[in-house]
Amino acid sequence: MNFGSAKGPVTKFYQQDVVQKITAPHSIGIVLRCWYDAEDAPLSNPLQDPLMRSLERGEVGVSFLSEPTDKREILPESDLLLLDRSLQPGDVVKRSVDDLHSGMILDVRVKTRLEHAISKVQVDGWKTLEDLDTDRQAEIEDYVVYEDWVGQVIELYDENIIEVPSGQLVRLPELGSRLSVGETSENILPSPIGGVQNMLGYLFGTNRTTGLQTVIAIKHTVYVIAWLALNQTLDMSTAESRQRPQRFWHGSDIGKLTLVRNRLSFQMRIGDCVQLKDTEGIPVTKHGREGEAGGVITVNSFNVTATETEVDVLWQDGNKETLRSVDLIPYMNPDEYDCWPGDHVFFIGDGGGTQAIPGVVQTVDAIQRTATILLRGKIEQVSLLELDSQGASDSSSSPEIGGLGVRRGEMVFIHAPDKNNGFEAPRVPKIGELEPWVRANPFTVSGQLNGWREELANIGADIATRRSLETIDEGIINPKALPGTLSWFGEVIDLRLDGSLDVLHPDGSLGTYPLERVTRLYDGIEQLEDELYEDEEGSENQHQMHGIWDYDYHWGNSESQNSGDGYKDEEMREPDVEQSSEHTTTETIASMSPRSDPPTELITLDSTKSELEEEGEMQTQESDQNANWEKFKILSSAPPDHAYYQTSAAQPSRQFMSRLNREYRVLMNSLPENILVRAYEDRADLVRSLIIGPSNTPYQDCPFVIDWHLVDYPNTAPLAHFHSLTNGNGRVNPNLYEEGKVCLSILNTWAGDKNESWDASRSSLLQALVSIQGLVLVQEPWFCEPAYEKLRGTEEGTVNSEKAYVLSRNFVRRTLETPFGGFELEIHWLYYSRRLLEKVLRDSRALIKASSQQLSEGEMEKQTEQYVIPLSTGGIIALERVLTALQNLLDVHSNSAL
């Protein structure tokens, strides 16, 4: 299993792999960290956790399960042997990292070896899921059903039975599941202080003793359940009568709940504690004494000590195969175009505004980047670059709907046969309301339990004080005992090529349904994770200014006043006459890399000249350049298509105006030739920039427009909005999002080094602009991402540079069709008068010809005279469609000029 190119060591392991020390066969561990993991934030102090130092290539961080003395350790991969690889339904895999062909895991079968949790006596033979008793208790994240409500367990209160060195049994009530049967330590029982000592003394009649303590049993006595959604087959009046059930479930009420687990929750992993259905002849241990409180407890719990995993894989070409999990690797970085048979997609052509047409993927050729799609009742071959698998191109969708169709492993509600979900396929709604109480802070300012957690602790403690050591079995219901009662809910296990889907119901029955009859469940844990992600991303609207601009200000080159903003005039001085704009760019971006890419050589407008131009035409164009390509200009009013046009503007301070005057003087003199900036008299808080893609990159000769909002400037970084013109075709660059986000450390939208972040005393708009041109619009853009940088040298780099190249040509088309306000004349002059559009067409056709001839890299570079990006069949199909539209634009302009 090769990882990366032949330039570096082979990478063997991935997160959650089960490994063994070669020199110590009994040392079994789980891989927790790998060299190629993305490290978005500084790692913790390695003195606190031995796994938290930065890894070198060829190293992994492992948590060992059987060696307390070296439980967590970073080791060379050469010291380890791969025993098993944990995969689950819905995972995407490859045979090797160099393989462009990927597959989807359909099903997983794990067999295990077990040992008694306390005595460590081995159980004979391999055991499978069918041998286990899996429905005794619900765990955190499990789904439960009560009447017509589906909920999710979000917290537990446990009663743990602990054996102390004297052989006496002690009951330990506590919030949260931190212990497991068989766990031994000298510190399981809390120190006997305050109320805890009194409770222990009351319950067990003993004082805490020193020595090893062993967990022999665990009972969940209280469940906290967040109720998410109702049965969708109910009519409106019935649904309105179903009141949301209680939060806390204990005692006999637990027996009213039905446990609903998906296939993922049944996966067995190393270290799990399980029970067997057939207890005859298995090793057991007995604890406690007859006549004492609690009597004798028999322990028949077992720990998983070894696993072997077998998986069913659906490959992109439609073939299915059963393999060992260790013969596959996880696909670490699927992009917007990756799809698999059965997936619902939109066909959007060249991204030029064509109406999105829904389709179902039949097969995918990942090498040639093409797919066969069920489209309007027919099977058609299209380019992957013409597909939208995320639903971004559908302007009618609302943010809460999410992606297209459903995915394997998702939980769904089934609507009645004569009803549908209310959306037009392939859109599928999702429901699931996570009530506000779930989000309450766990602790008060003084460190005490807060909100519902405090109430849970009180309920659990009260139960503990009222019951004896005898175990009360409030068994949760197994849905298989109630066939047919939960046919309105289930897990998606497969997607059919006609667009329908197979659903596994909780009672084990299967059903096939059209997409229109299902609604996805919005998982509660997923909701919390989404909210956390949104909080980390931040919202541009949070920083918008309010009020009205009514301050009397003037633009000009008068001497700046000392406004106290901390920005030194000498740092904002205009460059020396001898200093070139390229030199300025290299200097200013040296410490601002969002992804550690080296600066690329910036192009000049001279590179756009056609070899077919006559000398006289060239001289005329050069004399007109200053008039038609003014790099910095202040316009009277902001254009309505500016991303922040609708925002309110606050009264500018003298500090703000002083800073802008200095920055704009620098922009007038120091902008690289291929960057234009426009400011506005009526909105000093708005700026618009146009960047022409640098030469020797996939972005060469293409226009990129970014709008800026100066909010609390310069104390905070300016807000940036990138005008993505992909129309749902995916990101043109990993740093430039379709929704407009610009991911860059200097803008504080990327957690880079502290020295790379925005600093009011030294950062500027110029630095932000040249950072985007020199560090984002680069030759191999996909390696800007931390995790992707470590894949440099693989086929995926070429694939994604192709994507950037094709999408960028469409930026030319859409910008010419609808020029951005304030740049209309410049765009027309550059692409028509300056004949850059002819060059774009000529270069692209040369690349198509060279790719079709399958020339060598050197021959391609010589023939195309540009950055070599060998195009796949799919890339050629998509690019030719764009070129047809560009040629039409050129023809129309040429005819109108006659």
* Residues classed as catalytic: 743
* Per-residue tokens: 221: 């006595």
1: three-class secondary structure by DSSP: coil
Residue written as tokens 């030469």?
A: 695
Per the document, the length of the chain is 898
Cα 382 to the center of its chain, rounded Å: 27
Q: Is 652 exposed, middle or buried (0-12, 13-18, 19+ CB in 10 A)?
A: buried
Residue written as tokens 């910036």?
A: 602
d(CA 640, CA 650): 18
User: Using CA of residue 140, residue 143, residue 145, residue 151, what is the dihedral sign?
Assistant: positive
Strand bridging mode 430-431 / 518-521: parallel
Strand bridging mode 675-680 / 632-635: parallel
d(CA 708, CA 473): 63
d(CA 545, CA 150): 43
**What amino acid occupies position 501?**
L
CB 421 within 8 A of CB 513: no
**How many of the other CB atoms lie within 10 Å of CB of 459?**
18
Continuous segment of H or E residues that includes residue 662: helix 654-670
* Per-residue tokens: 129: 């899921």
Cα 299 to the center of its chain, rounded Å: 42
How far from 56 is each of 11, 19, 71, 369, CA to CA, in Å? 11, 19, 20, 34
How far from 576 is each of 117, 573, 583, CA to CA, in Å? 76, 9, 11
The string of DSSP codes covering 464-521 is: HHHS-SSPP--PPBPGGGSTTTTTTEEEEEEE-TTS-EEEE-TTS-EEEE-GGGEEEE
d(CA 689, CA 723): 11
d(CA 523, CA 264): 14
589: three-class secondary structure by DSSP: helix
374: three-class secondary structure by DSSP: strand
Continuous segment of H or E residues that includes residue 814: helix 795-817
d(CA 493, CA 495): 7
Query: What does residue 479 show for φ and ψ, rounded to 5 degrees?
Result: -60, -25
Continuous segment of H or E residues that includes residue 529: helix 524-537
The string of DSSP codes covering 672-725 is: -TTEEEEEESS-TTEEEEEEEPPTTSTTTT-EEEEEEE-SSTTTSPPEEEE---
**How many of the other CB atoms lie within 10 Å of CB of 73?**
18
Closest listed residue to residue 96, CA positions, set 37, 16, 10 = 10
Alpha helices in 216-335 (DSSP H): 236-241
